[in-house]
Amino acid sequence: MNEQQKPGEIPDKSVRPSSEPQLENENKLPKLHTMKQDAAQYLKDRNISFLDLVSKEHEYAQEHPEKFEYRERVTEKAWFRGVLGLVFLVVVAAISYGVYVFLLTTDTLPPTETTPDRAFIPVEEREIITIRDDDRAGLLEKLEAARRDRLPSRSIKHVIVRIESFGGGSRFATIKDVMETLDFKTPNGFLENLNDKFDILVYYRPDGADIGFLLELKDHERAFAHMLGWEKDIMLDFRNLYFDADVTQPLLLFTDNVVRNIDVRSVPLQEHTTFSYGIFAKRFLIIATSDEFMDVLLGRLLVAPPR
């Protein structure tokens, strides 16, 4: 029985469907239209098969090949330019730093003097004397002053000669500089057979001091031949290095002696005064102004041979 309608209420005119037909419609699924159905209809309308369609598509692709064109994206261009800019900045920074280091480490001051070489043998003291070019008197005076220094007996001092040029600058003397300054009349080819490195040595005794030379040879046989030829005049050159004795050309000849198993040639000059020379290890020419100094020099060479 219908409920009584209230005043102002719109009457309900809708009719509810019966429950049974509604259940049947809800159980039915809607029909879907797919691409497979379209493809089947397309093949049916043109009376062709799927294989024919694929074959024709392949033939068309061969007749009309498409070219692949790569188009850079805006983001890729920006990334590449950024990397390129960063590399450029790194290269510029590296070059700038290299130029800075070069300018910083370049010595703009006047060149400093080279360090003189060490003596061939162990010595107790080293002294640098300075002379002018071709200053024979100055060199003899400086050698005499170095000789008069009082060191303990049997000590050896290494004397290094530095030559100052009149035009400015200085250099350490070679053996050629020293012998030419002393005006030594050396045999032809003698100086050319010597290396530049050499030692002027002063040996201290209780009652004085002696001077000697240690020269590095290029050819020991040539050096020995030169010394044999120089024997008749050598004391005319070395007599000025005997500061306490008035040495003249000896009347006697050089004789062979053996000192510490080394052949040495020597000549007596005055009482307790001799001149001797010898070749050590086919490498060094030893010149000493006393027998005692020759013995000490050979002893130090044997104990600590130069390398």
Per DSSP, 298 falls in state H
pLDDT of the residue at 86 = 85
pLDDT of the residue at 105 = 54
Residue type, 238: F
pLDDT of the residue at 150 = 83
Distances (CA, A) of 282 to 60, 188, 219, 220, 222: 97, 20, 8, 5, 11
**In what helix (H) or strand (E) does residue 215 lie, and over which residues does it extend?**
strand 208-217
CA 275 to chain centroid, in Å, comes to: 46
Query: Which residues lie across from 170 on neighbouring strands?
Result: 164
Q: Is the whole-model pTM more than 0.75?
A: no
Residue 270 lies in a domain: yes
- 208-242 tens-digit pLDDT: 899 999 999 999 999 999 999 999 999 999 999 99
Task: Report angle CA 100, 105, 108 to the nearest 5 degrees.
Answer: 110
> If you average pLDDT over each of 46-50, 82-86, 88-92, 286-290, which comes out highest?
286-290
Total domains, the chain = 1
Of 173, 161, 259, the closest CA to residue 201 belongs to 161
Residue 284 lies in a domain: yes
Residue 50 lies in a domain: no
Residue 148 lies in a domain: yes
Query: Which residues lie across from 284 on neighbouring strands?
Result: 216, 280
Residue 140 lies in a domain: yes
pLDDT of the residue at 28 = 58
SS3 content of the chain, % helix, strand, coil (to 5): 40, 20, 40
pLDDT band at residue 152 using 50, 70 and 90 as cut-offs: very high
Residue 88 lies in a domain: no
- 63-78 tens-digit pLDDT: 766 654 545 555 666 7
pLDDT band at residue 108 using 50, 70 and 90 as cut-offs: very low
Q: Is 80 exceeded by the pLDDT of residue 24?
A: no
pLDDT band at residue 116 using 50, 70 and 90 as cut-offs: confident
User: Domain containing 277: what range?
Assistant: 125-303
Distances (CA, A) of 129 to 16, 45, 82: 136, 121, 66
Query: What CA dihedral angle connects 114, 120, 123 and 125, to 10 degrees?
Result: -20
User: Residue 213 and residue 238: Cα distance in Å, rounded?
Assistant: 11
Mean pLDDT across the chain? 83
Task: Compute the average pLDDT of residues 52-69.
Answer: 67
pLDDT of the residue at 268 = 92
Residue 233 lies in a domain: yes
Task: Compute the average pLDDT of residues 291-301.
Answer: 96
CA 256 to chain centroid, in Å, comes to: 48
Residue 152 lies in a domain: yes
Distances (CA, A) of 243 to 142, 222, 223: 12, 30, 27
Task: Compute the average pLDDT of residues 157-181.
Answer: 92
